[in-house]
Amino acid sequence: MRANELGKTMVILHVALLALATLPLARRQTTVQADHAVMVLHFLAFLMVQATPVPPVLYALLMLRTALDLGGLRASLSTVPFLVGLVGTHFVYRLVQFMIAFGSVVI
């Protein structure tokens, strides 16, 4: 597998894992998995570019409030689990990336 194909696949894996981790944050019936995937993809793009002076924690709070239509208090309380989910899925992402890279060297 070429490096650019691996990178695209890994970003899709990271988005899917974090989108699944954000499902419990919004228990509304109108929110679908695609909404979570778009929200997560938007947040990861913000982290990659970060061309604004807004800190990621504040951006996550504003994103959760607007994208999932949460109230101010609920968005504030959901920011910490969202960021914990981000860190957790990032560790899984890096572990899978290491296993693929290590497997291609050994073989």
Percentage of the residues of the chain whose pLDDT score is greater than 90: 0
- Give pTM, 2 decimals: 0.74
Percentage of the residues of the chain whose pLDDT score is greater than 70: 82
Q: How many domains does the chain have?
A: 1
The domain containing residue 37 runs over which residues?
3-106
The yes-or-no verdict on residue 106 having pLDDT over 60 is: no
Hey, is 30 helix, strand or coil? coil
Report the sign of the C-alpha dihedral through residues 15, 16, 17, 23, in that order: positive
The yes-or-no verdict on residue 104 having pLDDT over 70 is: no
The yes-or-no verdict on residue 66 having pLDDT over 70 is: yes
